[in-house]
């Protein structure tokens, strides 16, 4: 197992204490600030190390299939889990309705990430490499910052507002960048479908040939 993959696995494990400290901080009648701060710090470490494992893998030329799978998985897990908890505790101000708006945005974010991940995986299986999109990186930064502020949202209303605004901006950019990414790489869809179409055509020709022989 490579060093980069070990770091990625450590990031996934670190999600557990991040969640635990947040839950403990929120179930207190009076928000227990130290627990929320620790949760936010752990979340920040998770986000910052996202760039570390990828950099190490590329620098040491140890990019692995396991690492490619686990790295984006870790990012999605921490965002989705923390978002679920924030919605569960209904810790919102600007977007009310029991967190319905944020929950819907979370669903869109998850759908976008899964769609792009599957798209990349299928393209990679065909030997096609898709270039990274700068907007995808920007949305990741916005979502990370927004979530960090939301974790501390119980401390002060202003912190909560900032978190909601930044998170909303990141969610909108997430959906937009996902659509843009698919449109930008639409030619890849044709390249992916081409081999399958050729195989179907070859099978049809083979069947036609057998029919002629039978006659």
pLDDT, tens only, 21-65: 998 888 875 667 889 899 999 999 988 887 787 778 778 887 776
Return the SS3 of 127.
coil
How many other CB atoms are there within 10 angstroms of residue 147's CB atom?
23
- Sketch out the chain's domains with CATH numbers: 3-184 (1.20.120.1760)
Structure-block tokens of residue 57? 């893998």
> Taking residues 128-141, what's their average pLDDT?
78
- For residue 30, the model assigns a pLDDT of 60
- For residue 102, the model assigns a pLDDT of 66
Distance CA 29, CA 156 (A): 15
DSSP-derived secondary structure for 83-99 = HHHHHHTT--SSS-GGG
> Taking residues 118-138, what's their average pLDDT?
74
Q: What are the pLDDT digits (tens) for 162-213?
A: 988 898 898 889 888 888 888 877 776 666 565 554 555 555 555 555 554 5
Q: What are the pLDDT digits (tens) for 147-166?
A: 899 888 877 888 888 988 89
- CA 185 distance to own-chain centroid: 19
How many other CB atoms are there within 10 angstroms of residue 34's CB atom?
10
- For residue 212, the model assigns a pLDDT of 43
Q: What are the pLDDT digits (tens) for 89-104?
A: 765 554 555 456 767 7
- For residue 8, the model assigns a pLDDT of 83
Tell which wins on pLDDT, 182 or 68.
Answer: 182
Return the SS3 of 190.
helix
- Worst-scoring range by mean pLDDT, 60-64, 82-86, 116-120, 203-207? 203-207
Please report which confidence band the pLDDT of residue 74 belongs to, taking 50, 70 and 90 as the band edges.
confident
């Amino acid at each position: 197992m490579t060093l980069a993959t070990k770091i990625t696995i450590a990031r996934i494990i670190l999600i557990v204490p991040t969640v635990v400290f947040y839950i403990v901080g929120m179930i207190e009648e009076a928000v227990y600030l130290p627990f929320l701060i620790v949760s936010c710090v752990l979340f920040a470490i998770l986000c910052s190390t996202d760039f570390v494992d990828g950099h190490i893998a590329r620098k040491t030329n140890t990019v692995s299939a396991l690492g490619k799978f686990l790295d984006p998985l870790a990012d999605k897990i921490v965002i989705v889990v923390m978002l679920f908890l924030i919605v569960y505790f209904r810790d919102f101000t600007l977007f009310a309705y029991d967190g319905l708006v944020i929950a819907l945005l979370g669903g869109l974010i998850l759908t976008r990430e899964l769609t792009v991940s599957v798209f990349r995986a299928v393209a990679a299986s065909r030997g096609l490499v898709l270039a990274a999109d700068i907007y995808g990186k920007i949305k990741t930064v916005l979502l990370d910052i927004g979530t960090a502020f939301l974790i501390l949202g119980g401390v002060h209303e202003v912190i909560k507002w900032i978190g909601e605004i930044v998170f909303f901006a990141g969610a909108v950019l997430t959906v937009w960048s996902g659509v843009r990414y698919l449109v930008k790489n639409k030619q890849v869809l044709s390249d992916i479908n081409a081999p399958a179409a050729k195989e179907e055509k070859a099978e049809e020709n083979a069947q036609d040939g057998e029919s002629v022989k039978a006659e």
